Structure 1
Amino acid sequence: MANIKVFCDFDGTITEKDNIISIMKKFAPPEWAGLKDKVLSQEMSIQEGVGRMFSLLPSTLKEDIIEFILENGRIRAGFQEFVDYLKEENIPLYIVSGGIDFFVKPVLEKYGPFEAVFCNASDFSGEKINILWPYSCDDECKNNCGCCKPSIMRKLETEDAFKIVIGDSVTDLEAAKQADLVIGRDLLLDKSKEMNLNYRAFETFYDCIAVLKNINGVRV
Structure 2
Amino acid sequence: MVTKKTFKIFVDFDGTITKKDIGEILFLRFGDAEKAGEIVKDWIDQKINSRESWRLLCRTIENLDKKEFDRFIDSQEIDDSFKTFVDYCNDNRHEIRIVSDGLDYYIDRILNKEGLSFVQRFSNKLVFDNSGGFYPEFPYTDEECDRCANCKRNHIINYSDDEDYTVYIGDGYSDLCPAQYCDFIFAKGSLLRYCEINRITYFPFENFTDVIDKLNELSARKRLKKRYQAQLKRKEVYIQG
Q: Same fold (TM over 0.5)?
A: yes
Question: How many Å apart are 1:188 and its aligned residue?
Answer: 0.4
Contact 1:3 1:160 in 2 (8 A): no
The structural deviation recorded for 1:32 is 1.0
What is the rounded CA distance, in whole Å, between the counterparts of 1:144 and 1:128 in structure 2? 26
Shift in Å, 1:64 = 2.4
- Cα distance change on mapping 1:59 and 1:14 into 2, 3 Å: farther
Matched to 2:145, the amino acid is K
Which deviates more, 43-52 or 79-88? 43-52
Does the 8 Å CA contact 1:56/1:129 hold for their aligned counterparts? no
Which of 131, 141, 158 in structure 2 is aligned with 1:136? 141
Q: How far off its partner does 1:113 sit?
A: 4.8
1:58 match: secondary structure:
coil
- The gaps in structure 1 that reach 5 residues or longer are none
Query: In the superposition, relative to structure 1, how do residues 5 and 47 fare at CA in structure 2: closer, same or farther (>3 Å)?
Result: same
Aligned to 1:215: 218
Cα distance, 1:198 vs structure 2: 2.1
Say yes or no: does 1:93 pair with 2:111.
no
1:69 is aligned to 73
Match of 1:201 in 2: 204
Number of residue pairs matched by the alignment? 217
Residues 59, 103 of structure 1: alpha-carbon distance in 2 compared, 3 angstrom cutoff: farther
Do the aligned partners of 2:31 and 2:62 also contact (CA within 8 Å) in 1? no
Say if 1:136 and 1:144, in contact at 8 Å, map to a contact too.
no
CA contact (8 A) 2:108 2:117 kept: no
| SS across alignment from 1:31 | helix
Counting only pairs closer than 5 Å after superposition, residues 12-23 of structure 1 correspond to structure 2 as 12-23=15-26
| 1:118 maps to 2:122 | yes
SS in 1 for 2:10: strand
Let me know the Cα RMSD of the aligned residues: 1.7
- Partners of 1:192 and 1:8 in 2: how far apart? 17
The alpha carbon displacement at 1:66 in A equals 2.2
Task: Mark the CA change 1:120 to 1:11 in structure 2 (over 3 Å): closer, same or farther.
Answer: same
Partner of 2:239: none
Which residue of structure 1 lines up, in the alignment, with residue 170 of structure 2? 167
Largest Rg, 1 or 2: 2
Q: TM-score when scaled to structure 2?
A: 0.84
CA contact (8 A) 1:183 1:201 kept: yes
The DSSP-based 3-state class of the residue aligned with 2:200 is: coil
Which residue number in structure 2 is paired with residue 153 of structure 1?
156
Change beyond 3 A, Cα 1:188–1:165: same
How many angstroms apart in 1 are the aligned matches of 2:158 and 2:203?
25
Mapped pair 1:48 → 2:46:
no
1:58-102: per-residue Cα shift (whole Å, max 9, x none)? 37444422220111x121121111111111101011001111111
Write the distance in 2 (CA, Å) between the matches of 1:115 and 1:68. 23
Within 2, Cα distance between the matches of 1:90 and 1:35?
40
Letter matched to residue 154 of structure 2:
S
Unaligned runs of 5+ in 2: 226-241
1:21 maps to a residue whose letter is E
Q: Quote the Cα distance in structure 1 between the aligned partners of 2:74 and 2:165.
A: 33
